[in-house]
Amino acid sequence: MKSALAYMLALVGSSTKLEEPIGTSGLLLNDEYVSLVANHSASFHPNFSKNTIQGVRANAALVTPDVDSFFSGLSGLGRVQFAQALAPPPGGLRAQFLDRLIIVEGNTAAILSASRITTNTSQLLIQTTLAETMIFDKDALLSRIVSIGESGLAAAQQTGAAKLPSVEPIALNPIANKSAGYTFKIKEKAAQFNINFNNQNSSANGLLATEDVTVVSDGRNSTGRAALVNLFTRYNTSIPDLVQHDEFVLGQGNWAATEYIFQGTRNSTFTMLNGTEVKPNGVQYRVRGMRFMRFNDAGLVDLFWQAADNDAFVNPAYLASPIFA
């Protein structure tokens, strides 16, 4: 019980030196450690955006030798695989990850960014959303990263089927200073979205948000509760057996983030982001996504940002092996 108490004190921001939480070897969740996690979390994308070998090496120095990485369907293990996945793009292109939000809770961070590819003359070619969960070890080195992009949107932008956004400066969203009790409650609400969906009660998700909630998904902004509910119902016809499961629910101040898995069988016609209709194939797909939610003082979501690859349900990289033959 003593270790569990120390862990809870860490979550509410105690500056006391804490003993390690149960089951986490050598990890001390004091203020100094959490600040170091936040510092390292904020370092990866500026290093990457240099588009240099030096930037790649700087990032490799921030990860464990056995770092476990998942980049939009491609898994890797170790520093070499990690560095190769973050190599600068060829052909005179410039790639940038521009952070919009960094949530840190204990040894875990959730990051919302813009993924932007331009020519060296700054002509915009692609801009999508990138979302990541990072877990750090006792030395604040990255030991696991899940990186979720919008490959379908990128492909649609390349062909002109989806409109490119205007190139604007991107800055970090502020995080309000809220009590631990408030943040715990909004995490509970963030977890309720998938519970409602799996109970076939997606309409209840609209009641967790303000009437004029801003919803961002697939490169588009929309407004209102109906737009939010649509994120949960848009696959009802094409993937009727879809199930969603939260892997992480993180919170800091007035923000919460979830990393989730959704899995289902493409049993009806599926419409890709470029408008192409794909025939059913009776095959299961297992996909990862993330959601970032900003809550107002009344505990309602007023900004809901979803990062997931809509077209993953036609991508062989996301095929799921059935549990039963």
Instruction: Classify residue 303: in a domain, yes or no.
Output: yes
pTM of the model: 0.90
Same domain, 153 and 218: no
Instruction: Classify residue 18: in a domain, yes or no.
Output: no
Q: How far is CA 286 from CA 69, 195, 262, 265, in A?
A: 17, 18, 6, 9
The SS3 of residue 165 is coil
Q: Structurally, how many domains does the chain consist of?
A: 2
Instruction: Classify residue 167: in a domain, yes or no.
Output: no
pLDDT in tens, 231-284: 999 999 999 999 999 999 999 999 999 999 999 999 999 999 999 999 999 999
pLDDT in tens, 271-319: 999 999 999 999 999 999 999 999 999 999 999 999 999 999 999 999 9
Same domain, 154 and 216: no
Same domain, 193 and 308: yes
Same domain, 142 and 201: no
pLDDT band, residue 3 (cuts 50/70/90): very low
Instruction: Classify residue 9: in a domain, yes or no.
Output: no
Same domain, 221 and 314: yes
Cβ contacts of 119 within 8 Å, gap of 6 or more: 92, 93, 94, 125
| Angstrom distance (rounded) from CA 246 to CA 201 | 17
Instruction: Classify residue 57: in a domain, yes or no.
Output: yes
Same domain, 131 and 191: no
Contact 272, 264 (CB under 8 A): no
Asked if pLDDT for residue 199 goes beyond 80, the answer is yes
Q: How many residues does the chain have?
A: 325
pLDDT (0 to 100) of residue 27: 73
Average pLDDT, the chain: 90
DSSP tag of 103: E
Nearest partner of 66 among 53, 55, 79, 75, judged by Cα: 79
As a whole number of angstroms, the longest Cα–Cα distance in the chain is 59
pLDDT in tens, 14-29: 444 444 444 456 777 8
pLDDT (0 to 100) of residue 321: 72
- Domain region containing 220: 180-318
Q: How far is CA 101 from CA 7, 54, 85, 161, 182, in A?
A: 25, 25, 22, 28, 19
Tell me, what CATH number does 126's domain have?
3.10.450.50
Asked if pLDDT for residue 118 goes beyond 90, the answer is yes
Instruction: Classify residue 53: in a domain, yes or no.
Output: yes
